[in-house]
Amino acid sequence: MSSIARPPDPCLVAIILIVRSRTGPRLVFHYPPNPLSENRLKTTTKGGRRISRTRTKQGSKNTDSSSSDDSGLSSDEDEEERELQNQSQSQSQSHAQSHGGGASSVLAGRRASNFALDELLLNATSPAAGDSQRPGSLGSGRGSSMRKRGGAGSDPEEDGGTSDRPDDGPGSSRPPWESLLGVPGSVWEKLLSPSRSWHKRRFEVGINDLALIGWPVFVREDGSWRKQRRKKTKKPRADWDGGELGHNENAEDGPKDERFMMSPDLGASVASMADSLISPTESKRGSTSGRPGKPDETFDPEDKDHMTMFNVVFVVDPPLLEYSMRVKEIYDNVIKKFAKALKWEQARTDYVWKESQHILQVRRRARETKTSTHNLYSELISQSSLARAIYTVYSSISASKIASVSLSPDVSISLQIPPLTSTPCLAGPMDKSYPGLWLTTADSATPVDDPGADESNTPHQVLAKHFALLLLDSEAAIIKDVEASGGALAPALAHYIRCSKPTKSFAQISLSSGIPLPHIQMLSSHLVYWRRARAIPPIHQRDTYIVSPNCDLSKLEIATVAYQTAFPTYPSLPKMLSTLSGTPRPYSNFIPSKDHKEIYFTILAWLLRGGWVTQLRTFARIKVSPEVKMAVEMALRKEEVDRYLAKGASNSLSIESDSEHEEIGDTHSSSSSSLDSHESGEETPMPGRVDPQARLRFSHKLLDRSTALRLSSFILSPHRASPLESRWLDEIVRRFPDNPKTDQGEENASPDITPNDIQTIHKKYWPVFLKYFNGLDALEKIPVRENLKRKLVWQVLMRLGLVTGPLGSMDLDAREQVLVSVRHW
Amino acid sequence: MIKAIFYSKFDTVEGPKVVHQVPDGGIVPSPTAPSQLPLLIFSDVSFFVIPRQELCGNLLQVCTNGYRILGYPICMKSARYDRNEFIFNFCIVLAEEDDFSTYKSVVQKIADLMHGLEEQNGFLSRDFSKSGEGKIYSLCEMLMEDLNNYCECMIPIGTFVSCYIPTLLTRFLDDLNTLNIKLFPIYPSPPPVKAWQVPLFMLRYQAFTDENWDLTMQRIVPHINGVNSVRLISILADTDFSLTCRALRHLLYYGCLFLLDIFSFSAIYAPTAQFSTTIASDEAMQLECARYVNLRFAPHPPMGPSIPLAQSTSANGSTSNTVLSASLTDPSLTQEARFDAEEIWPLLGEESTPIPDTSIVHKPAIVDGAALVELYAGLKQGQSVKQWYAQHSRSLANIDIRRFITFGVIKGFLYRVHKYACATGQPAPPPRSSSFTPTGHSSRVTTGTNTPYAVSSLGEDGVRREGSQERAGSLMSGKGAGSGTPSAFWEDEEEEVVSDEVLGRYLDGTHCVDQICTELEMSERELTARLKRYPGEVLILHR
């Protein structure tokens, strides 16, 4: 079907599991067996100098950006050429490699000097010339089979450095899986088993363009893997907190840390939601073994080795310019959560260590039997749940999918890097664009929505109740998945999905179905987080939809076919889009008859889902005309004068009035300048009585201030109006005709509203609507949120100067036309 | 900002060791600077600073304690060293969250240089100066100071006479051994330039061009004026099209250019979501806009720049400069601003019907900031500039329409609604039927503005001519390149200039009308007419 949101670029290259025990660190497992192989490995300008890739547009990586001759611009053509070069280079090198069986190292670097000392020196003096001569520096295998052929009799030198390990017999031929990215495992072991200062902290190492990120966990001083609960008997549900909906952040240390937050997949999370929703006590499920894992059985230093640290390291190769963003994304969403889950299981059942030993054993056996890498990996993945978990995480996350990992029958988690679902910004011709992404400003929390919501600490806040749920797959498919995954909450979820309609807000569904609103919000935010649905403003026939400027027309052909299958008897997709292309009109204009309403809503939902259309929303601000400003100014002056008269004679009238005025008119600096001119003027101070001259003076002052007064302006946030703005607003309301042309009103106003209504209409709704006139809140929200009739709202708004569609049936009073509206998504 | 620079080597006795550090005591405690607390614990990272030889020759970085250490360890093998090898690393310490991309090349360059120096005469291995003294220390010190303060450095490195190399040669090398480093920011690569895009300079190109420039660049630059499309530029400059694109992309990379679309009165523009937060709330931007679009400030020949030939060109260049940087350096603008703040606003056109104006405003009515916003808000989907102009002609009387639109596009609160032609493979509908008639409201649907063709077909040229006469030629620039190609001799009845086959390739919905017009060298009007003769239904999508 149509494309869903653009997933983030995971840039995942490999996952490495390192454990450390008394005998030292061991590289237990890595997946894929041969990362950066196949087409991915292309090195940059300087040949095998560094691990690198040209996958991205930052191909040149500006390794030379400090040299002034390199402009740093990598244009398409350059890149292509370079890539071609590199390709051919690596091709030829891999040829050479497969022929000669030479050492293959991505990290060619210094190892090259093992082959030829002179060469290194040569390289050093003239780097550009020498680099390409490093043997095998590029061809870190072309696929595992090739790699095996090339590397089977790999260079003995690699083993030279690994002899410190008991099971690596010196000189023994080294199986291909023992090295990674062309660097022997022993080097990785040393590099990736950091000191204790990294315990439960981000561990980040970079090698050339690769970033290796982990979250190392060390055994506690007392040999356990988690803090002992003081009252562990009373905390039976320490096992599976599941987070709230499984996607909470909780990084702080302390007791909470122990109940790590998991991201259960649809099924598992249903269970965890059941825990949190239905009754907390039921969450004992699977907690029989949930005792804090004091690994008594393994804590036996005498005859048994035991693990002191494990570190799951994710190797990523983010584009240089997106480095920190990508690293943070994968660290927060995947690395940390996965490591926490492992820590949990380690504490509970000594999971990581047991699995590691198992994996190592299989590997030892494979070395003896000279099993191929391929067979070894399929064996590992089928036999070890940890290896399988790493495999799953790698393959799902690198494909930007949700990884559902089960470590044991009891414990499974789901991990994902949440995709971008919508953007308010339309990419210009010079920006990177993500066509197909839903273009809207309607995110589920907006200024009026959630004044108190602090978005920073709640990564996934409760969905606003005035939103509706748009399923991203067919209802049947989702329900099938939900039911297949089982779980205590599956019925509730299925029930809700059946009740849910994109035309009805959560609040409305709650009323009609009887499901409590908080449950609905939780269920839907769950569905949204796990990419099954999207929260949208409810579809309404009176709302306007346009072809999204961000829609992906390159998918038009495929989508047309899909659309055709879904709605065979209705106008084709291009036709529909063409129809929505003209002057924006309410969607009801396109619905042929009442009977077609349902299906046209379904069509609209389909279009919204694929990002083909987006809602055109209306935003407005109040314009204050010079007349209003002037009237307020006059009134203020008059008040001053009155006050002055009441006060009696005083010589400091002007100054006093000025300062008083400043309190009110604080938004205008011009008042202070008028004060200045006053004092510096050679005119004598005002006599202590109001006379015509004083009047004149006032008008002078008015003229001084007139620059601002003579220009109309907007009130940016009416609900936080300054004192002067409040006066303006009052004046605007005062100017609304009390009895607006009753005769015409009867003629033109719609029959729904009696003249009586019109009279009260502003007084009644103005204060209610006022806060929406901030240019940021769509006016479409008003009827939903204030629970008013749409027609009424729009009539009021039209009266206030809103222009939508063809100009009005109503005869409008200029004094009421105070809104300036704009429509965008 | 570089927090520290240190030189570390593998000491055969002590193991990994920090030899020199700037600031003193920044990495390991120093007796000479007892008050300086180390930024990090060296033992935690020593493995990354002096790694195993397999990892030498790679750029290594590690994060610890909120700092990021960038290094490029080098291992040299020679019989003259103890254990036959010498491992050293010059590391730069940055804050962890800082952008480190520009420093990658720095560490690498230092490593390469030091490698060379060490090879020449044992520059590093023969340095026995105490911590905080000697050439290497001052080198690190200068490096850090210069890069932090000036983002570049040029440090001559004097090497002492070595017994390995004849003196003469050494002297010669001394001159050569200069550490030249400049920090270059890294920008994202711009997407490829399209033939139908219209580049506009963001700054005065005259200020930075010189005759050493690439020839293509020199030739195309004068034609970049915010009006000519890329294709037209390459024709006018008589340059190869792909070279033109490359040159433009180069300028784009450095942010010298902005890409616009081909302006025409049949084009559609609509506000984006940035509208409320930019022009509608930013009074400074409203002023800037008024300055830019007000015909009062349109350059007239006498006060224009000295190149009369490229009048419109240079005018565009200079004013866009003021628009974008809002620079107060432009004398005319500051002068105007000081003269009378109100004169910045364009005047309303004369009109017979007086507005009910009860205020004390005596000066001629003006289009103030709010009015400009209202004008922008009046642009919408499905409505061509021409139609919009017709509705607001009075307000727009003293406004340069093209600049008005361009301003919005540059500031990002307007976007061009592109039209795409899509052949459905269905037979063509009977002529002039409504594009969509299943609804009961079809009469409303077909009202003028909704039919995509209506916007582009009628009377467009008339308006343009009219407008340009009225406006002292500034609107001449409004003529889009696509419609500017001489093609009036085509007749509908004659054999098609563009075959159905060629045209059909453009009708998959991924080619916008600007592109089709540019590549097939026809005006939008001609294209519209041509599409009507296309066998089969062609739908127009607005996106």
**B301 to chain A, minimum CA–CA distance in Å?**
31
Does the beta-carbon distance from B55 to A432 stay under 8 Å?
A: no
More confident residue, A463 or A17: A17
Name residues whose C-beta falls within 8 Å of residue A660's C-beta, 6 or more positions apart in sequence. A640, A643
Residue A773: closest CA among chain B residues belongs to which residue?
Answer: B276
Whether the per-residue pLDDT at B246 is higher than 60: the answer is yes
Residue B367: closest CA among chain A residues belongs to which residue?
Answer: A711
Q: Shortest CB distance from A207 goes to which of B41, B58, B181?
A: B58
CB atoms within 10 A of CB A551: 26
Q: Identify the residue among A320, A583, A669 best suited for mutation to test binding to B, counting B beta carbons within 10 A and taking the highest.
A: A583
Does the beta-carbon distance from B370 to A821 stay under 8 Å?
A: no
A129 touches chain B (CB under 8 A): no
Contact status, residue B529 vs residue B492, Cβ threshold 8 Å: yes
Does the beta-carbon distance from A578 to B381 stay under 8 Å?
A: no
Name residues whose C-beta falls within 8 Å of residue A526's C-beta, 6 or more positions apart in sequence. A245, A246, A269, A273, A493
Does the beta-carbon distance from A75 to B249 stay under 8 Å?
A: yes
**B272 to chain A, minimum CA–CA distance in Å?**
6
Whether the per-residue pLDDT at A606 is higher than 50: the answer is yes
CA gap B170, A279 in Å, rounded: 82
pLDDT in tens, B75-94: 998 888 888 889 999 999 99
Name residues whose C-beta falls within 8 Å of residue A795's C-beta, 6 or more positions apart in sequence. A749, A750, A752, A753, A761, A810
Contact status, residue B511 vs residue B398, Cβ threshold 8 Å: no
More confident residue, A408 or B74: B74
Instruction: Please report which confidence band the pLDDT of residue A290 belongs to, taking 50, 70 and 90 as the band edges.
Output: very low
Contact status, residue B375 vs residue B396, Cβ threshold 8 Å: yes
Instruction: Please report which confidence band the pLDDT of residue B233 belongs to, taking 50, 70 and 90 as the band edges.
Output: very high
Whether the per-residue pLDDT at B14 is higher than 60: the answer is yes
Q: Shortest CB distance from A50 goes to which of B58, B101, B382?
A: B58
Whether the per-residue pLDDT at A705 is higher than 70: the answer is no
Average pLDDT over every residue of A84-99: 40
Whether the per-residue pLDDT at A809 is higher than 70: the answer is no
CA gap A230, A228 in Å, rounded: 6
Q: Which of chain A's residues have a Cβ under 8 Å away from the Cβ of B116?
A: 124-125
CA gap A800, A729 in Å, rounded: 13
Q: Shortest CB distance from A206 goes to which of B61, B252, B439?
A: B61
Query: C-alpha distances in angstroms, A56 versus A83, A206, B85?
Result: 11, 18, 37
3-class SS of residue B162:
coil
As given in the structure block, the two tokens for residue A488 are 């205590």
pLDDT in tens, B427-451: 776 654 444 434 333 333 333 344 4
CA gap A509, A468 in Å, rounded: 9
Instruction: Point out the least confidently predicted range of A113-127, A236-250, A485-499.
Output: A113-127
A206 touches chain B (CB under 8 A): yes
Contact status, residue A45 vs residue A60, Cβ threshold 8 Å: yes
Q: Which of chain B's residues have a Cβ under 8 Å away from the Cβ of A610?
A: none
Average pLDDT over every residue of A55-77: 38
Name residues whose C-beta falls within 8 Å of residue A390's C-beta, 6 or more positions apart in sequence. A15, A17, A29, A31, A312
CA gap A144, A31 in Å, rounded: 12
As given in the structure block, the two tokens for residue B115 are 């490698």
Q: Which of chain A's residues have a Cβ under 8 Å away from the Cβ of B189?
A: 57-58, 73-76, 79
> ∠A192-A180-B74 over CA atoms, to 5°?
65
Does the beta-carbon distance from B186 to A58 stay under 8 Å?
A: yes
pLDDT at position B239, please?
A: 92
Amino acid letter, residue A488: A
Average pLDDT over every residue of A580-605: 89
| pLDDT cut 70: percent of chain A above it | 58
Does the beta-carbon distance from B55 to A575 stay under 8 Å?
A: no
Average pLDDT over every residue of A721-726: 84
Instruction: Please report which confidence band the pLDDT of residue A651 belongs to, taking 50, 70 and 90 as the band edges.
Output: low
C-alpha closest to that of A190 among B107, B113, B53: B53
3-class SS of residue B392:
coil
Cα Dmax for chain A:
113
Full-model pTM? 0.73
Does the beta-carbon distance from A77 to B55 stay under 8 Å?
A: no
pLDDT in tens, A172-207: 456 677 778 878 888 888 888 888 888 888 999 998
> ∠A600-A606-A611 over CA atoms, to 5°?
125
Name residues whose C-beta falls within 8 Å of residue A511's C-beta, 6 or more positions apart in sequence. none
pLDDT at position A229, please?
A: 60
Instruction: Kindly tell me the burial class for residue A222, based on how many C-beta atoms sit within 10 Å of its own C-beta (0-12, 13-18, 19 or more).
Output: exposed
As given in the structure block, the two tokens for residue A238 are 């320490």
Query: C-alpha distances in angstroms, A407 versus A265, A562, B20?
Result: 13, 38, 49
If contacts are CB pairs under 8 Å, which of residues 548-577 in chain A contact chain B? 548-549, 551, 553-554, 556-557, 571-572, 574-575, 577
Q: Shortest CB distance from A575 goes to which of B246, B254, B436?
A: B436
pLDDT at position B181, please?
A: 86
> ∠A581-A586-A592 over CA atoms, to 5°?
85
Residue A814: closest CA among chain B residues belongs to which residue?
Answer: B356
pLDDT in tens, A301-350: 444 678 888 999 999 988 888 888 889 889 999 999 999 999 888 888 88
Residue A423: closest CA among chain B residues belongs to which residue?
Answer: B273
Q: Which of chain B's residues have a Cβ under 8 Å away from the Cβ of A73?
A: 189, 249-250, 253-254
CA gap A162, A143 in Å, rounded: 25
- For B71, list phi and psi in degrees, rounded to 5: -150, 165
Query: C-alpha distances in angstroms, A188 versus A588, A666, B493?
Result: 64, 65, 76
C-alpha closest to that of B58 among A226, A668, A531, A46: A46
pLDDT at position A291, please?
A: 40
**B44 to chain A, minimum CA–CA distance in Å?**
6
Instruction: Please report which confidence band the pLDDT of residue B230 belongs to, taking 50, 70 and 90 as the band edges.
Output: very high
Q: At what angle do helices A351-369 and A373-383 cross, to 10 degrees?
A: 150
Does the beta-carbon distance from A206 to B62 stay under 8 Å?
A: yes
As given in the structure block, the two tokens for residue A12 are 């995942």
Contact status, residue B373 vs residue B280, Cβ threshold 8 Å: yes
Whether the per-residue pLDDT at B113 is higher than 60: the answer is yes
pLDDT at position A390, please?
A: 92
Q: Count how many Cα atoms sit within 13 Å of the Cα of residue B269 in the half-sphere of its side chain.
A: 30
Whether the per-residue pLDDT at A67 is higher than 70: the answer is no
pLDDT at position A774, please?
A: 86
Whether the per-residue pLDDT at B351 is higher than 70: the answer is no
CA gap A17, B136 in Å, rounded: 40
Over chain A, what is the mean pLDDT?
67
As given in the structure block, the two tokens for residue A281 are 């006590």
- Pairing verdict, β A422-423 and A438-439: parallel
As given in the structure block, the two tokens for residue A642 are 């009155």
Contact status, residue B302 vs residue B184, Cβ threshold 8 Å: no
Using the structure block, give the residue that is written with the tokens 């997949």.
A265
Does the beta-carbon distance from B187 to A429 stay under 8 Å?
A: no
Using the structure block, give the residue that is written with the tokens 């909906």.
A245
More confident residue, A759 or A455: A759
CA gap A247, A264 in Å, rounded: 8
A426 touches chain B (CB under 8 A): yes
Contact status, residue B522 vs residue B496, Cβ threshold 8 Å: no
Average pLDDT over every residue of A537-560: 89
Whether the per-residue pLDDT at A537 is higher than 50: the answer is yes
Contact status, residue A761 vs residue A812, Cβ threshold 8 Å: no
Q: Identify the residue among A553, A712, A732 best suited for mutation to test binding to B, counting B beta carbons within 10 A and taking the highest.
A: A553
Q: Shortest CB distance from B373 goes to which of A426, A820, A825?
A: A820
Query: C-alpha distances in angstroms, A798 versus A525, A779, A821, B441?
Result: 35, 11, 10, 22
Q: What is the CA radius of gyration of chain B?
A: 33
CB atoms within 10 A of CB A379: 17
A73 touches chain B (CB under 8 A): yes
Burial call B264-279: b when 16+ CB within 10 Å, e when fewer: bbbbbbbbbbbbbebb
3-class SS of residue A73:
coil
A710 touches chain B (CB under 8 A): yes
CB atoms within 10 A of CB A38: 13
If contacts are CB pairs under 8 Å, which of residues 630-669 in chain A contact chain B? 630
- Secondary structure element (H or E) that encloses residue A715, with its range: strand A713-715
Amino acid letter, residue A412: S
**A303 to chain B, minimum CA–CA distance in Å?**
30
Over chain B, what is the mean pLDDT?
75
pLDDT at position A72, please?
A: 38
CA gap B94, B4 in Å, rounded: 7
Q: Shortest CB distance from B189 goes to which of A74, A548, A577?
A: A74
C-alpha closest to that of A544 among A750, A766, A765, A778: A778
If contacts are CB pairs under 8 Å, which of residues 452-511 in chain A contact chain B? none
Instruction: Kindly tell me the burial class for residue A745, based on how many C-beta atoms sit within 10 Å of its own C-beta (0-12, 13-18, 19 or more).
Output: buried
Contact status, residue B344 vs residue B337, Cβ threshold 8 Å: yes
Q: Shortest CB distance from A589 goes to which of B368, B441, B542?
A: B441
CA gap A773, A761 in Å, rounded: 17
Amino acid letter, residue A620: A
Instruction: Kindly tell me the burial class for residue A452, based on how many C-beta atoms sit within 10 Å of its own C-beta (0-12, 13-18, 19 or more).
Output: exposed
Does the beta-carbon distance from B370 to A424 stay under 8 Å?
A: no
Does the beta-carbon distance from B541 to A204 stay under 8 Å?
A: no
Instruction: Please report which confidence band the pLDDT of residue A791 belongs to, taking 50, 70 and 90 as the band edges.
Output: confident
CA gap A308, A602 in Å, rounded: 57
Does the beta-carbon distance from A190 to B47 stay under 8 Å?
A: yes
As a 3-state breakdown, chain B gives helix, strand, coil percent values, each rounded to 5, of 40, 15, 45
pLDDT at position B477, please?
A: 38
Q: Identify the residue among B165, B276, B516 best suited for mutation to test binding to A, counting A beta carbons within 10 A and taking the highest.
A: B276
Does the beta-carbon distance from B54 to A111 stay under 8 Å?
A: yes
Does the beta-carbon distance from B56 to A49 stay under 8 Å?
A: no
Instruction: Kindly tell me the burial class for residue A23, based on how many C-beta atoms sit within 10 Å of its own C-beta (0-12, 13-18, 19 or more).
Output: exposed
Does the beta-carbon distance from B277 to A776 stay under 8 Å?
A: yes
CA A527, A531, A532, A537 dihedral sign is: positive
Q: Which of chain A's residues have a Cβ under 8 Å away from the Cβ of B119?
A: 121, 124-125
